[in-house]
A and B are shown apart, each in its own frame.
Chain A
């Protein structure tokens, strides 16, 4: 049929299932994110530590290579929970950088030109819209967090002597759960803040600020009131505690930062709840002014 056809008729062909419309949002979200060279650059940067870790695992498990590198001395690297805690931490913080860049691209463009009335006039709910954007972010952040971490874990299990895998299953579990909880937190923060800040670059800055400014405030509270509860505002400290417990790694923090798991879970849940409330207030086809 020619594109020059000068008449228009109601479409009566096959339509896609309703649930698949979220897939459309995911697909266009991914395309939007990867259309930026900065995204590609940040992704490449985020994969570099994983490559270094891959080499480290190779060296640690290959006697010949270990001998050549260490020239007869004992090889200093052990592949254990502490090693994977370092891997997970590095990947997750790089994921935050990627998230701060990508999340505003997914939401701010729609809000800047007031696209929501048109988007939501289609058979897509507000929940479906947010879910679609979240899944786009989830896919991108997965590529730099649990996917490389799990690949490294699988490689270590493959190259290490028999019995290593069964003795360290908790590490694999911890890598997945730790990454997923981090992705959920930072993706929600990214989407919520991007929905309130129209300017992309500012939104990127605000995402970082939302993670690090409360940490400073928490530090001040801890210092003045001499209480460990101030660390509940310190996302880096809290997440390190969470990852450490999930992987079963020995404590790397000072004793005073030892926070109850329930308190950490409650704070993280509260942060996600605030993000949902912010999205609920902002992701609307129309804004009703109360008067």
Chain B
């Protein structure tokens, strides 16, 4: 069973189609939701939460239908919205405890978890302060703490690094990676920042104009390009290329002494230097190339999902 299953999902808001027949299954531990503004990322999240009702098709979270089983879904998720959303008049710990109790934790357990969650996200020292006095970064973290406090199975984060300075952003990314490492909580992160998704997620869903432009397993992508190497050399490359082929590499040479190789797993980079030395070639630089998330995203943006084109990797 996938974390999220979309089956011809259509959502109309104010009479306009916003999500248009999304179909796919997401199984990753950390799923990134990418797309330009207005692509339908937040609408998809709100549909999963049961805030919007699909006009056709279905969306399922852990096999539960977002239309008919929204209460059960909400019991299993923690949600961190994009915009400010808190009760400024409450202290941090009281707010997080309140939300944990609403999620179903008994009062004493909720209080214990509230303290834990606040320490976990780094707000332990300010947990008795009113939320209205928090900085922007702290307000982002309190939203994360309340989403975590009841120990959800899926954490939905809408633009978690929005408005954070570089230090705070790095801390947020670190925290999310820590959560991912535990393995018991899945993440769904919506962002327009490729770098954030690249650093945290192992699967990505790219939306464009309310349709799926790409579904990609970034982890697999990374693994498949592990041995794709570009080399800058000086000297005669023809015999060097032959030697590399003899070692089992696929090799293509370009002008300016540039070579592109796909190395088998059995070969170590050191052997390239040995072969280069034997054929009088100097290696001036080696670049391990990987198909970055940016490449995937740009390819997806070139597609026209309305005509059924999309990238599946």
Q: A interface vs B, CB < 8 Å?
A: 1, 3-16, 18, 21, 24-25, 28, 32, 109-110, 112-125, 285-286, 288-291
Nearest residue (CB) in B for A291 is B14
Question: With contacts A1-B116, A9-B185, A118-B146 known, is A113 near B14, CB below 8 A?
Answer: no
- B41 at the binding interface (Cβ < 8 Å): no
Contacts of B55 on A, CB cut-off 8 Å?
A: none
Q: Which of B61-117 contact A (CB under 8 A)?
A: 71-72, 74-75, 77, 79, 81, 83-89, 98-99, 101-106, 109, 112-113, 115-117
Q: Which of B130-189 contact A (CB under 8 A)?
A: 131-132, 143, 146, 148, 150-153, 178-179, 182, 184-185
Contact among A109, A117, A122, A291 with B102 in the assembled complex (CB-CB below 8 Å): A122
Q: Is the CB of A9 within 8 A of B184?
A: yes
Q: Is the CB of A288 within 8 A of B184?
A: no
Contact among A113, A285, A288, A290 with B87 in the assembled complex (CB-CB below 8 Å): A113
Q: Is the CB of A3 within 8 A of B116?
A: yes
Separation of A108 and B85 alpha carbons in the complex (Å) = 13
Q: Mark B38-59, 1 if CB is under 8 A from A, else 0.
A: 0000000010010110000000
Q: Is the CB of A8 within 8 A of B16?
A: no
Q: Which of B23-51 contact A (CB under 8 A)?
A: 46, 49, 51
Q: Is the CB of A291 within 8 A of B16?
A: yes
Contacts of B113 on A, CB cut-off 8 Å?
A: 11
Question: With contacts A113-B86, A123-B102, A291-B16 known, is A10 near B184, CB below 8 A?
Answer: yes
Q: Is the CB of A8 within 8 A of B151?
A: yes
- B124 at the binding interface (Cβ < 8 Å): yes
Q: Is the CB of A113 within 8 A of B132?
A: yes
Q: Is the CB of A109 within 8 A of B77?
A: no
* Chain A min CB distance to B3 (Å): 13
Extra contacts, 19 of them, besides A1-B112, A118-B143 (Cβ < 8 A), are A3-B112, A3-B119, A5-B116, A5-B120, A8-B116, A8-B117, A8-B148, A8-B185, A11-B151, A13-B105, A13-B109, A15-B105, A109-B89, A113-B87, A117-B79, A118-B79, A122-B99, A125-B71, A291-B14
Nearest residue (CB) in B for A285 is B51
Q: Is the CB of A15 within 8 A of B101?
A: no
* Chain B min CB distance to A39 (Å): 14
Separation of A84 and B119 alpha carbons in the complex (Å) = 56
Give the interface size class of chain B: 35 or more
Separation of A283 and B104 alpha carbons in the complex (Å) = 21
* Chain B min CB distance to A126 (Å): 10
* Chain B min CB distance to A72 (Å): 59
Q: List 16 A-B contacts (CB under 8 A).
A: A6-B120, A7-B178, A8-B151, A10-B151, A10-B184, A15-B106, A109-B89, A113-B88, A115-B86, A115-B87, A118-B143, A122-B99, A123-B104, A285-B51, A286-B52, A291-B14
Separation of A112 and B86 alpha carbons in the complex (Å) = 9
Contact among B99, B106, B119 with A118 in the assembled complex (CB-CB below 8 Å): B99
Separation of A12 and B104 alpha carbons in the complex (Å) = 11
Nearest residue (CB) in B for A12 is B151
Q: Is the CB of B49 within 8 A of A121?
A: yes
- B285 at the binding interface (Cβ < 8 Å): no
Q: Which 7 pairs of residues, A with B, have the shortest CB-CB distance?
A: A11-B151, A15-B104, A290-B14, A121-B79, A122-B102, A3-B115, A113-B88
Separation of A290 and B16 alpha carbons in the complex (Å) = 9
Q: Is the CB of B185 within 8 A of A114?
A: no
Contacts of B185 on A, CB cut-off 8 Å?
A: 8-10
Contacts of A124 on B, CB cut-off 8 Å?
A: 102
Contacts of B98 on A, CB cut-off 8 Å?
A: 24, 28
Question: With contacts A3-B116, A121-B49 known, is A11 near B150, CB below 8 A?
Answer: yes
Separation of A10 and B113 alpha carbons in the complex (Å) = 11
Question: With contacts A11-B105, A21-B102, A286-B46 known, is A113 near B182, CB below 8 A?
Answer: no
Separation of A57 and B15 alpha carbons in the complex (Å) = 65
Separation of A1 and B71 alpha carbons in the complex (Å) = 30
- B13 at the binding interface (Cβ < 8 Å): yes
* Chain B min CB distance to A33 (Å): 12
Separation of A123 and B184 alpha carbons in the complex (Å) = 21
Nearest residue (CB) in A for B119 is A3
Q: Name, among A5, A115, A122, A286, the residue most crowded by chain B CB atoms within 10 Å (CB to CB).
A: A122
Contacts of A125 on B, CB cut-off 8 Å?
A: 71
Q: Is the CB of B51 within 8 A of A286?
A: yes
Separation of A239 and B286 alpha carbons in the complex (Å) = 87
Q: Is the CB of B101 within 8 A of A114?
A: no
